[in-house]
Amino acid sequence: ALRWPRLGVRPGAPQLRAHGVVVDGRLAPPVDLVLDGGERLLVTGPNGAGKSTLLAVLAGALRPTDGHVWTASGARVVRVTQETAAQDPRLTAREVYDRHVGRLVADGVLPDGDAVPLGSLGLLDPDATGTPVGRMSQGQQRRLDLALALSGRPTLILLDEPTNHLSAPLVDELTGALRDTGAGVVVATHDRQLLRDLADWPLLRVGGAPAPDARSGVPRPVAREEPAPGTRRTPS
């Protein structure tokens, strides 16, 4: 069964702020949201509405045309995209995982003593960990993507259509783990079953309607405040 690693994030600790975020031709109207330790957000909307674009902006992988994103110092934000990340097909899943963790440690993102053993996550059985990535099924590769995301003990995880290529049992395990983790979690999906399973989460609809506040669910003006002390700013 999927087991989320131990996290040091404090409930309610500031993680991320987004104010008036727009990406021309891909995300509008402006999105305004607040995410703190342990909080949840469900992002939905039709295909092409900008769900993936929003997650890319929040992860720092895409610069917004307008608006700002602030990420707290010490926050570990990871994103699992819809498509499986490209890996050397000759490497086994364990080799890919160990190399990824080694880079996190070398870059100072993760203290050496905090490295998460692959087997502790319950995502891949011993046979799968020794399988070359090029011979893994789509479902196994998706499990590896999740393992790589969890390896750095994230304080905020962004999941883009996380049920793609997952078996029904793993979807159930993932849903349960998302409820139990101390990390902040953002899920972007139009999967009807997942929307039902997470129906009690705050909801942000993108594309067409005014962007609601992630906490209240009602539209609010774009905030233009300065970042809090100890945070870093992603410029537009």
pLDDT digits (tens, 9 = 90+) for 207-229: 854 444 444 343 333 333 333 33
Element of type H or E holding 94: helix 93-106
Backbone angles phi, psi at 71, to 5 degrees: -120, 130
Q: How much is the pTM?
A: 0.83
State how far the alpha carbon of 36 is from the alpha carbons of 23, 49, 68, 184, 221, in Å.
23, 25, 17, 6, 20
Mean pLDDT over each residue of the chain, to the nearest integer: 85
Residue 197, both tokens: 């399973």
**Integer Cα distance of 93 and 72 in angstroms:** 32
* One-character DSSP codes across 121-188: GSSS-HHHHTSBGGGS-HHHHHHHHHHHHHTT--SEEEEESTTTT--HHHHHHHHHHHHH-SSEEEEE
* One-character DSSP codes across 105-119: HHTTSS-GGGPPPGG
Look at residue 215 in the predicted model and tell me its pLDDT. 47
- Range from 13-17, 36-40, 189-193, 206-210 carrying the lowest mean pLDDT: 206-210
Q: Which domains does the chain have, with CATH numbers?
A: 14-234 (3.40.50.300)
